[in-house]
Structure 1
Amino acid sequence: MTDWLEEINWNDDGLVPAIAQDHTTGRILMMAWMNRESLRLSVQEGRAIYWSRSRGKLWRKGEESGHVQKLHELRLDCDADVLVLQVEQLGGIACHTGRESCFYRVYRDGAWHTVDAQLKNPDAIYHKAHSHE
């Protein structure tokens, strides 16, 4: 039997883009990167674990904010180079800006417009200077 991780077309850095999608509404919550270890651990632990390129280490979604993503289903696209994680976003906030989704801006009339309200102040979420989880 083939190792399921070897069926993925990892990029030159050993990463694959991972789109987190709400398992009930279908709304796209965020995009992050995964490596073999983060993907294997996500399946093992039943929660989203990403690879933080900026910090160069595993990032268990919610480790600082408490807004964990419970993994319901994992999908791989036809080219085997993009993942979709169907998740339950505990706490309702996926974005480090304090919004439900990282995709809160809409292009209209030559400009980007914020269309989703901030649900919580990032300083209150992270209890420190604003940072990316």
Structure 2
Amino acid sequence: MNDAWLEAIKWGPDGLVPAIAQERGTGTILMMAWMNRESLELTRASGHAVYWSRSRARLWHKGEESGHQQVVHAIRIDCDADVVLLEVEQKGGIACHTGRHNCFYRQLDEAGDWVEIAPVLKDPDAIYAKA
């Protein structure tokens, strides 16, 4: 298979590229994560978002624990080819590990405080219950 599409990406010195997950239909930015070559190849092949977890130092199949997978409808790169944009369908309506629809739930107010502007849809302890 031709991998010229992967060669076009400007990978960081650590072999990673930032990836933004955008909700199909609404345009809402759900989250940002990191991808390496393997995760991007797996995303394309499987049709489900696969990221590189820097904290765990391993591939992370979105929804592997929570069930909140992201079905990928399009993969794009920006004009500089150093950011990936995934157009996704968010399964379960929750993209954030905090139990919210997206990870961008804090907004800076005029006083300079971060204010939570989105509710928790499901308690994270219920999402990530350990058996």
Distance in 2 of aligned mates of 1:35 and 1:13: 9
RMSD: 0.9
Distance in 2 of aligned mates of 1:23 and 1:68: 14
Amino acid at match of 2:20: I
Question: Structure 1: 5+ residue runs without aligned partners?
Answer: 129-133
User: Does the alignment pair 1:30 with 2:41?
Assistant: no
Distance in 2 of aligned mates of 1:121 and 1:47: 24
- SS of residue in 1 equivalent to 2:25: coil
TM-score of the superposed pair, with normalisation by structure 2: 0.96
Percent identity reads 64
What is aligned with 1:131? none
- SS of residue in 1 equivalent to 2:92: coil
How do residues 83-98 of structure 1 correspond to structure 2 at under 5 angstroms? 83-98=84-99
What is aligned with 2:116? 114
1:2 Cα shift?
A: 6.2
Q: C-alpha offsets along residues 40-85 of structure 1, whole Å, 9 cap, x if unaligned?
A: 0000000100000011100000000000000000110000000110
Amino acid at match of 2:66: S
TM-score of the superposed pair, with normalisation by structure 1: 0.94
How do residues 1-133 of structure 1 correspond to structure 2 at under 5 angstroms? 3-109=4-110, 110-128=112-130
Question: Structure 2: 5+ residue runs without aligned partners?
Answer: none
Aligned length: 128
Distance in 1 of aligned mates of 2:87 and 2:34: 15
1:3 Cα shift?
A: 1.5
Runs of 4 or more above 3 Å deviation: none
Distance in 2 of aligned mates of 1:56 and 1:85: 21
Distance in 2 of aligned mates of 1:2 and 1:49: 18
